[in-house]
Chains A and B, each alone.
Chain A
């Protein structure tokens, strides 16, 4: 156990200096994004090349940070193992069997040959913003050559720069990685009596099964984050639709909305049964869930309104619904911080 603890500590100590370095790079690239917008304002002819170069650089930076985080997660998988001595394993299994008789669910029994390992996905806590912004930067890089007006280019660049600045100034996925997870597992490393070890195991094991290693944690959040990233792009195009009556722009907006809506629908569907199972009837009318549903409903209205684009007034109305979908998405993200409920971010 000590060897594993030392291995993880080594990785964390490397991150202690690597994290701030990455954050400084993120800050500088973010700041230069603002500079690029001003530069392109004065030299619009160079927008196509310079902007794409910048988006490529920001995507590479985010990818670098993400891969570093993936390395941390791999180390966690390799080192954070809930290994029990054989006599304790027997006691734990008896307790698990007893618990299974009293509750509707049964936790898997402990197998000494395959002790449970933590495999937290790389979008826990503030890490989710990193994943979201990485997806956005890749999408923006892909969309860039398809844009015909500088208005969109500035919009895409603005979001890209904003993401990097937010990551470096407000969210600290690398310099302060997984604070809640590390605090939660830290008692496991302490010198414990047999009785205390069982207690700590029984606290950590359900969290491992139902939260950190749960299949839905690997599917539900990334799908929603992909939807959020596409909604940002969609917002820029809907703003453009509101300003220009150009079919090309409308096509781009619709082309972006489709995968976003699919990811949002699938993500919410995947999360739903687990939310109901975990929270029961308390789930209904939870602020985060209500705001997510609101976003989905508003987004659905866009697709319905779009069927009658050629009607008088419907062009702008449809664009407005698209813009409202983005506003609803921002509200949904903020709701986690502002309102209480099951999804609250403390």
Chain B
């Protein structure tokens, strides 16, 4: 049972690494595509079209990463059988958001509950509940929670730029969580 659990974690990590690697390939491809199209000289409408395609591709990959995260976070405190339901619910939210409006709404709909789950994990950790982590040490666990919560908030702050502006409190909060999370997780070596 113990070994199986770690296998499950291992597969999730590999999935996350694979999706992140695909995202980096998309970013690399976009760099070359920029040069190929001579995008600097393109008319704004054409440029918008190109950016729209890339935004949708990146959103799909980010959605995938968030779903993996949604399988990762609650496993710290929920029984295993619930994880699939959580992932399924988030996946449905993502698809619904995309169909109803666009990729932006789809991501926001997934980010909000993911952030809430991360926050619950953080609170449970602080209150001393026994949670499942692959590594030992309070600093590392605390740091991991902070980093992932920071990433969720950062993505939200970027998606909400039209409403919150560039240097929003949400952005700086995300930056604080990310940096202090990294510092905490490094503290214990």
Binding site for B on A (CB under 8 A): 258, 261-262, 265-266, 269, 272-273, 276-277, 281, 284-287, 290-291, 293-294, 297-298, 300-301, 304-305, 307-308, 311, 321, 328, 331, 335, 338-341
* B142 contacts A by Cβ under 8 Å: no
Q: Among B17, B38, B40, B161, which residue has its beta carbon within 8 angstroms of that of A301? A: B17
Q: Interface with A: B22-30, B77-85, B99-107, B118-126, which one?
A: B22-30
1/0 per residue, CB under 8 A from A, across B108-142: the answer is 00000000000000000000000000110000000
B161, A276: Cβ atoms closer than 8 Å: yes
- Docked Cα-Cα span, A300 to B150, in Å, equals 14
Residue of A nearest to B135 (CB): A307
B35 at the interface (CB under 8 A from A): yes
Asked if residues A297 and B23 are in contact (CB atoms below 8 Å), the reply is: yes
- Top 9 A-B pairs ranked by shortest CB distance? A294-B27, A340-B40, A294-B24, A297-B24, A287-B31, A290-B27, A273-B167, A276-B166, A269-B175
Which residue numbers of B lie inside 8 Å of A, CB to CB?
10, 13, 16-17, 20-21, 23-24, 27-28, 30-31, 34-35, 38-40, 50-51, 54-55, 134-135, 154, 161, 166-167, 171, 175, 178-179, 182-183, 186
Q: Which of B13, B38, B55, B183 has the most CB of A within 10 A?
A: B13
Nearest CB in chain A: distance from B162 CB, A: 10
User: Are A298 and B24 in touch, CB under 8 angstroms?
Assistant: yes
Complex Cα–Cα for A293 and B154 (A)? 14
7 contacts between A and B (CB under 8 A): A262-B179, A269-B178, A277-B166, A281-B51, A304-B16, A304-B20, A341-B40
How far, in angstroms, from A286 to B167 measured CA to CA in the complex?
20
Q: Say whether B10 contacts A300, CB under 8 Å.
A: no
B10 near A285 with CB under 8 A, answer: no
Contacts A284-B55, A305-B13 given: A294-B178 contact, CB under 8 Å?
A: no
Residues of A within 8 A of B178 (CB): 265, 269
Contact indicator B179/A269 (Cβ below 8 Å): yes
Say yes or no: B161 contacts A285, CB within 8 Å: no
Interchain CA distance A338-B35 in the complex, whole Å: 8
**Interface on chain B toward A: helix, strand, loop, or mixed SS?**
helix
Residues from chain A with a CB closer than 8 A to the CB of B135 are 307
Q: A311 to B10, Cβ gap below 8 A?
A: yes
A341 to B24, CA, bound (A): 19
| Contact status B134-A307, CB under 8 Å | yes
Considering residues A258, A297, A328, which has the most beta carbons from chain B within 10 angstroms of its beta carbon?
A297
Q: Which residue on chain A has the smallest CB distance to residue B182?
A: A262
Contact check: which of A258, A265, A276, A284 meets B51 at CB < 8 Å?
A: A284
Instruction: Kindly state the separation between the CA atoms of A34 and B83 in the bound complex, as whole angstroms.
Output: 57
Question: Are A285 and B54 in contact, CB atoms less than 8 angstroms apart?
Answer: yes
Chain A residues lying within 8 Å of B51, measured Cβ to Cβ, are: 281, 284-285
Which of A258, A298, A305, A331 has the largest count of B CB atoms less than 10 A from its CB?
A298
Residue contact A290 to B30, C-beta cutoff 8 Å: yes
Candidates A276, A297, A328, A338; contact of B20 at CB < 8 Å: A297
Q: How far apart are A144's CB and chain B's nearest CB, in angstroms?
A: 21
A266 to B150, CA, bound (A): 12
Roughly how many angstroms separate A272 CA and B165 CA in the complex, as a whole number? 12
Given A261-B182, A298-B21, A304-B13, are A285 and B34 neighbors across the interface (CB < 8 Å)? Answer: yes
Residues on B with C-beta less than 8 A from A297 are 20-21, 23-24, 27
Q: Provide the residues of chain A in CB contact with B21, threshold 8 Å.
A: 297-298, 301
Given A294-B28, A340-B35, A301 and B182 contact (CB-CB distance below 8 Å): no
Contact in complex: A291, B28 (CB < 8 Å): yes
